[in-house]
């Protein structure tokens, strides 16, 4: 366990370091002058320079990278240009909001897509399978803002069943918050459904064709029991990994969904920071997303090893 | 006529690459699939709109009519008008152009670069593969849309930036697939033979391995094409893609949305472009699905 985990953590840190380089240098080629952007066109060149100096944007690239990464390691995400305040609390609050939305989307999509995938596999090649597969694939590539717009038109504007904004307002009850989050969660569910269902389908088909399933059927075990006890337990393993890797796509979707539904999450935060050229906010938000993704992948790998004894011995545990 | 030339070309290819002949009857299987036919028909429709859009469109997509703005779909304007009184139907038709130029070019760029990178990673392996794999993983840790707009904010939005950025973002994804395909070929006898013959690595990679991993690359290309439409439409919606006043589905939706067109009940300004995007991605997916089915059959 020790060696595997160390190697895995080492690679993870390497990946995150490369990620920080990409993000930092992408941010550095941002055109324009942060001081000018904050003070506006009417400010004198002198005061712009003073502000730039205060912000530290006139320092050499490597010095800036060093102080940024040093701050990150100490949990200091920097100071927002736009709000002139520490980035940390903004990112934390946004992350919690996004988490609520993401959890709701996962709670809906995981059982639904596994069910879809298993049903697809049981009817492999028949029309039920084709409908689920093609619908899943199509929904997965319809951008969130497109399905979001259609949902808003139908359920928000025409039927007036659900609120079209995700923000429930300050002091809203949990139930009200939940109601506001349903509509934004559905486009995310659409995008994720296809992938997870596809994986569950493939895993189930593999398990259905296995020797142990044949043995169970031949010894006269009822079909329902075979599926529950032998097929599902084996077929869902690869699905777990897919669910974890989908967190990355989910966060990408959050940018759109949070913008569309006016929600104060990490996606919305990054988007506004990009528009306002709020460089520290943008960088930190993007790196935090990277960290969340890498941790989710690690968690999935460990879970998979824990669940599958064969992998456990391969990993040298 | 076209059938004959296809046969001729295929025979020509077959002489040099024996593996390609096995794929020939599969192309015939493809056109028999209803999903492929429907997908291809929708795609063809949008290609015609992209090429002849200005001739087909009933109105000038840029002509404003401030007295007749926000009118609901009716006889003169089938899809209604937008906040500046422009004909939504015309904008939807002409709007096919930019997305159908940008997406294939971005996907081709990503596929070419990804294939080259993947061949090198899979063939050479070792420290090169390890390092590039880390970069690939780092890029994969970020959603494509976020990493794209990070660079587009930096470079400024334009058609060529969009193609370049989306192509580059797709490169590692495609490289990963190609690498995996190359790894499964690496221990086959024909490669050992090529190496013993003293062929140089570039020739082995591009003349020996590439033709054998081409089917996998083709599937990857069609899959990525779907994602590219997704990414580019999303970037346009976020304001980092095609810029107004050019007719574009994503940015037209964004403009109406920002003017609270939905809240005011002007649903046609967003719904029709949204359906256009949906139909295009679904068409590409029907094609992708058919190609995959035929490849794996």
Q: What is the pLDDT of residues A287-317, one digit of tens each?
A: 888 888 888 888 877 877 777 777 666 655 5
Interface contact flag, B134 A277, Cβ < 8 Å: no
Task: State the average pLDDT over residues B27-32.
Answer: 77
CATH superfamily of B104-244: MetI-like (1.10.3720.10)
Domain positions in chain B are 25-95+247-297, 104-244
Using CA atoms, how far apart are residues A277 and B68, in angstroms rounded to an integer? 37
Using CA atoms, how far apart are residues A101 and A251, in angstroms rounded to an integer? 10
pLDDT in tens, B143-165: 788 888 778 877 778 888 899 99
Task: State the average pLDDT over residues B2-22.
Answer: 42
Nearest to A15 among B138, B234, B278 (CB): B138
A93 min Cα distance to partner chain B (Å)? 20
Structure tokens of A228? 């529950």
Q: Do the beta carbons of residue A125 and residue A118 sit within 8 Å?
A: no
Q: How confident is the model at residue A171 (pLDDT cuts 50, 70, 90)?
A: low
Query: Which pLDDT value is given to residue B43?
Result: 93
Query: Which pLDDT value is given to residue B5?
Result: 40
Query: Which pLDDT value is given to residue B6?
Result: 41
Residues 134-163 of chain B whose Cβ lies under 8 A from any Cβ of chain A: 134-135, 137-147, 149-151, 153-156
| Interface with chain B: mutation pick from A149, A244, A278, highest number of B CBs within 10 Å | A149
**Does B183 score more than 60 pLDDT?**
yes
Task: State the average pLDDT over residues A269-291.
Answer: 84
Q: A-B interface: how many C-beta pairs under 8 angstroms?
A: 148
**Residues forming CATH 1.10.3720.10 domain(s) in chain A:** 96-264
Contacts of A147 in chain B (CB under 8 A): 278
Judged by a CB distance cut-off of 8 A, whether residue B247 touches chain A is: no
Nearest to A274 among B153, B230, B257 (CB): B153
Query: Which pLDDT value is given to residue B164?
Result: 92
- Which of A136-150, A171-185, A245-259, B166-180 is predicted most confidently? B166-180
Task: State the average pLDDT over residues B3-29.
Answer: 48
Closest chain A CA to residue B268: A153
Using CA atoms, how far apart are residues A117 and A205, in angstroms rounded to an integer? 10
B256 min Cα distance to partner chain A (Å)? 11
**Does A75 score more than 70 pLDDT?**
yes
**Does A16 score more than 70 pLDDT?**
yes
Q: How confident is the model at residue B47 (pLDDT cuts 50, 70, 90)?
A: very high
Query: Which pLDDT value is given to residue A248?
Result: 67
Contacts of B267 in chain A (CB under 8 A): 153, 157-158
Lowest-confidence range among A72-76, A102-106, B275-279? Answer: A72-76
Interface contact flag, B281 A141, Cβ < 8 Å: yes
Closest by CA to B226, choosing from A109, A195, A23, A223, is A195
Count how many residues are written for chain A.
Answer: 317
Q: Do the beta carbons of residue B171 and residue B110 sit within 8 Å?
A: yes
Query: Which pLDDT value is given to residue B41?
Result: 93
What percent of chain B has pLDDT above 70?
91
Nearest to B285 among A31, A137, A260 (CB): A137
Query: Which pLDDT value is given to residue B21?
Result: 45
ipTM of the complex: 0.77
Residue whose structure tokens are 């989908």: A246
Query: Which pLDDT value is given to residue B109?
Result: 96
HSE, CB side, 13 Å, CA atoms: give it for residue B163.
Answer: 14
Query: What b/e sequence results for B156-184 when a residue is b if at least 16 CB atoms lie within 10 Å of its CB, and e otherwise?
Result: ebeeebbbbbbbbbbbbbbbbbbbebbee
Average model confidence (pLDDT) for chain B?
81
Q: CB neighbours (10 Å) of residue A46? A: 8
Contacts of B286 in chain A (CB under 8 A): 134, 138
Q: How confident is the model at residue B13 (pLDDT cuts 50, 70, 90)?
A: very low
A221 min Cα distance to partner chain B (Å)? 32
Using CA atoms, how far apart are residues A170 and A176, in angstroms rounded to an integer? 11
Contacts of A137 in chain B (CB under 8 A): 285, 288-289
Using CA atoms, how far apart are residues A162 and A179, in angstroms rounded to an integer? 7
Contacts of A10 in chain B (CB under 8 A): none
pLDDT in tens, A47-64: 777 777 776 666 777 777
B199 min Cα distance to partner chain A (Å)? 35
pTM of the model: 0.80
CATH top class, domain A96-264:
mainly alpha
pLDDT in tens, A90-109: 888 888 888 888 888 888 98
Query: Which pLDDT value is given to residue B122?
Result: 87
Judged by a CB distance cut-off of 8 A, whether residue B221 touches chain A is: no
Closest by CA to B103, choosing from B293, B277, B297, is B277
Task: Enumerate residues 6+ apart whose C-beta is below 8 A from B132.
Answer: B117, B120, B121, B175
Query: Which pLDDT value is given to residue A67?
Result: 78
Query: Which pLDDT value is given to residue A166?
Result: 66
| Interface with chain B: mutation pick from A21, A124, A142, highest number of B CBs within 10 Å | A142
């Amino acid at each position: 366990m020790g060696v595997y985990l160390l190697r895995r953590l080492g690679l993870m840190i390497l990946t995150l370091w490369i990620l920080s380089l990409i993000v930092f240098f992408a941010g550095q080629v941002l055109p324009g002058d942060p001081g000018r952007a904050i003070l506006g066109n009417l400010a004198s060149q002198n005061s712009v320079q003073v502000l730039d100096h205060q912000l530290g944007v006139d320092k050499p690239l490597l010095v800036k990278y060093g102080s940024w990464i040093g701050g990150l390691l100490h949990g200091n995400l920097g100071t927002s240009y736009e709000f002139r305040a520490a980035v940390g609390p903004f990112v934390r609050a946004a992350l919690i909001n996004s988490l609520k939305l993401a959890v709701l989307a996962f709670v809906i999509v995981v059982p639904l897509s596994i069910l879809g995938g298993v049903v697809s596999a049981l009817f492999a090649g028949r029309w039920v399978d084709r409908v689920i597969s093609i619908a899943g694939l199509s929904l997965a590539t319809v951008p969130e803002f497109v399905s979001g717009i259609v949902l808003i038109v139908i359920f928000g504007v025409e039927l007036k069943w659900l609120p079209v904004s995700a923000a429930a307002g300050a002091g809203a009850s949990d139930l009200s918050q939940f109601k506001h989050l349903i509509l934004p969660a559905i486009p995310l569910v659409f995008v994720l459904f296809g992938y997870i269902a596809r994986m569950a389908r493939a895993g189930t088909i593999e398990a259905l064709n296995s020797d142990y399933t044949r043995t169970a059927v031949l010894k006269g075990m009822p079909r329902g029991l075979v599926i529950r006890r032998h097929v599902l337990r084996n077929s869902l393993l690869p699905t777990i990994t897919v669910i974890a890797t989908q967190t990355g796509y989910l966060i990408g979707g959050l940018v759109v969904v949070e913008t569309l539904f006016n929600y104060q999450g990490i996606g919305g935060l990054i988007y506004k920071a990009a528009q306002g050229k709020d460089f520290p906010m943008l960088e930190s938000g993007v790196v935090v997303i990277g960290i969340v993704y890498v941790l989710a992948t690690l968690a999935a790998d460990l879970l998979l090893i824990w669940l599958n004894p064969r992998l456990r011995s391969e990993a040298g545990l | 006529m076209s059938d004959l030339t296809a046969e001729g070309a295929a025979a020509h290819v077959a002489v040099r690459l024996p593996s390609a002949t096995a794929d020939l009857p599969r192309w015939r299987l493809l056109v028999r699939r209803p999903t492929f036919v429907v997908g291809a028909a929708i795609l063809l429709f949008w290609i015609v709109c992209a090429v002849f859009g200005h001739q087909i469109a009933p109105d000038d997509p840029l002509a404003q009519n401030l007295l007749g703005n926000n009118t609901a779909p009716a006889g003169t304007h089938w899809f209604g008008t937008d906040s500046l009184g422009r004909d939504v139907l015309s904008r939807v038709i002409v709007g096919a152009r930019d997305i159908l130029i940008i997406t294939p070019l971005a996907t081709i760029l990503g596929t070419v670069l990804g294939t080259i990178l993947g061949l090198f990673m899979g063939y050479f392996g070792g420290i090169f593969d390890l390092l590039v794999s880390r970069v690939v993983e780092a890029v994969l840790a970020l959603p494509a849309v976020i990493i794209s707009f990070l660079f587009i904010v930096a470079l400024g939005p334009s058609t060529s930036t969009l193609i370049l950025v989306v192509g580059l973002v797709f490169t590692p994804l495609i490289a990963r697939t190609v690498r995996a395909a190359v790894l499964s070929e690496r221990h086959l006898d024909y490669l050992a033979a090529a190496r013993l013959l003293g062929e140089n690595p570039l020739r082995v990679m591009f003349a020996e391995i590439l033709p054998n991993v081409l089917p996998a690359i083709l599937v990857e290309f069609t899959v990525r094409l779907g994602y590219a439409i997704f990414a580019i439409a999303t970037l346009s919606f976020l304001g980092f893609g095609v810029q107004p006043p050019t007719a574009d589905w994503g940015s037209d939706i964004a403009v109406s949305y920002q003017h609270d067109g939905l809240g005011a009940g002007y649903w046609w300004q967003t719904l029709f472009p949204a359906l256009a995007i949906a139909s295009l991605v679904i068409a590409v997916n029907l094609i992708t699905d058919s190609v995959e089915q035929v490849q794996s059959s």
